[in-house]
Amino acid sequence: MRLADLPIRDELRGKEPYGAPQLDVPVALNTNENSYPVPGPVVDAIVAAVRAEASGLNRYPDREATALREDLAGYLGHGLTVHDVWAANGSNEVLQELLQAFGGPGRTALGFTPAYSMHPILALGTGTAWVDGRRNDDFSVDAESAAADVRKHDPDVVFLCSPNNPTGTALGLDVVDAVLAESRGMVIVDEAYAEFARAGTPSALTRLGADHRLVVTRTMSKAFALAGARLGYLAAHPAVVDAIQLVRLPYHLSSLTQAAARAALAHTGVLLATVEAIKEQRDRIVAELGVRGLPVVPSDANFVLFGGLGDQRAVWQRILDHGVLIRDVGLTGYLRVTAGTPAETDAFLAALDAALDEKGQQ
Ligand SMILES: Cc1ncc(COP(=O)(O)O)c(C=O)c1O
C-alpha cells in the first residue's frame, strides 16, 4: 500500500512535502532560526506562565487569544489594536488561513519566485492555483513589472515577501503600492524577517491604514528566537480578522502557546538583543563571501544567498561533510546560509573554504 494507491486529490499526486532536512549536525544554519537559545530569565518567565495555565488545561483556551493579540499589537505599534491583529501556530498557519478565506478552488495566487517555498505549497493545499511573477536578475522586484504581472494574471491573492526568503531582498513600498493599485484581490506582505532589516528599510505596516486589502504577516520564530513555540501573527483591517474567523479551527492556539508567547513578549528587549549580533554576522558573511569572489545577494534578513558555485548540490554536500548544514534552495549555482553566532560563522567559512578547495582539486 503506497501513497499513490490512495484516492488522494489529483493535484496532490506526485508532489513532495516541505522538507528542509532536520539532521543532527554540529552547526545547523539551514532554516533561518535564531542560533541563540532563549535567555535564562525568559525561560523562567515562560515556565512560570505555562505552569500557571496547567491546572486550567481541562478548559479550552481563549478562542480569540485576546490578551496575546493585545500584546502583539502593542509590540507592533503603528496605532494597531487587538482588532487589527490575529495570531496562530506560526505564520505558516496564518498564511494558510488567509488562503482558506481569500483563495481556494477557482481562485489564483501570485508570488514572485524565488520566494518562500511554503507560499505555493499552501496554495496547493487550499486548492488555489499558483502563478509565478518575475524578479529581476539581481532578485529585486520593481513596481512596474510587479504591476504588469498583476495585470496579466488578475490574482485573488498576491504574496510579497520582504525581506524575501531565500534572497534576503527587501521591497520598496512603491512595489506594495503598485500591486495594491493594480489588483482587486488581497495583498499579503510576508515580513517574517522584518526585525533584521537594515536601517531605513520600510515596513508595509506603515501602509495598513491606506487599504483594507493589505495584510502584513510576522512571526516570533526568527528575531524572537521562538521557532519551537509556533507563534505567528498578522496585522490587517479588522474585517480581515473577521474573515479569518470563518476558516480558523476553534481553539487553534493552545493556552500554553498563548501563555508562553505573552511571557516572551513581556521580555521583548532581552529577546531582541540578539538581533544586532546576528546582523553583524550576516554582514560579516556578506563581506567574507565577497572576499572569496563569490556573488552575494544583499541581505536584509538573517541569512545570505550566495552564488558562483556551479553544482551547488555537490558544494552543499561537501560543506555538510565538514559538519555544517546550510540550504540548497534549488537555485542553480546558489546556496543559502543562516547567520548565527560568530563561532558558527567561523565554522561555516572554514567548511566552505574546504569545500571549495576540494572542488578545485576535482
Ligand atoms: C518568509 C517566511 N515566512 C514565513 C515563515 C514561517 O515561519 P513560522 O511558521 O515559523 O512563523 C518562514 C519560515 O522560514 C519564512 O521564511
The domain spans of the chain are: 20-38+272-361, 40-266
Task: Say what the pLDDT of residue 19 is.
Answer: 77
Q: Cell 501563555 belongs to which residue?
A: 259
Is the CB of residue 303 less than 8 Å from the CB of residue 168?
A: yes
Amino acid at 170: A
- Does the CB atom of residue 190 touch ligand 1 within 6 A? yes
| Residue from 154, 147, 149 nearest 113 by CA | 149
Query: Which ligand 1 atom is the nearest neighbour of the CA of 221?
Result: 10
Q: How many CB atoms lie within 10 A of CB 247?
A: 15
Is 228 strand, coil or helix?
helix
Whose cell is 582539486? That residue is 361
CA distance linking residue 109 with residue 215, whole number of Å:
14
pLDDT at 21: 81
d(CA 82, CA 95): 19
CB 118 within 8 A of CB 98: no
pLDDT for 94: 98
What pLDDT was estimated at residue 361? 61
- b/e per residue, 6-22, with b = 16+ CB within 10 A? eeeeeeeeeeeeeeeee
**Separation of alpha carbons 325 and 166, rounded Å:** 16
Residue segments in the chain with a per-residue pLDDT below the cut of 70 = 359, 361-362
Quote the pTM value: 0.97
CA distance 107 to 287: 43
What is the model's pLDDT at position 20?
78
Please report the pLDDT score of residue 72 as a whole number.
98
Residue nearest to atom 3 of ligand 1 (CA): 192
Assess whether the previous peptide bond of 163 is cis (omega < 30° from 0): yes
Q: Is the CB of 227 under 6 A from ligand 1?
A: yes
User: How far is the centre of ligand 1, averaged over its atoms, from the C-alpha of 270 (Å)?
Assistant: 22
Residue 239: its pLDDT value, please? 98
Architecture (CATH level 2) of domain 40-266:
3-Layer(aba) Sandwich (3.40)
User: Same CATH fold, 40-266 and 20-38+272-361?
Assistant: no
Q: Which CATH architecture has domain 20-38+272-361?
A: Alpha-Beta Complex (3.90)
pLDDT tens for 59-85 read 999 999 999 999 999 999 999 999 999
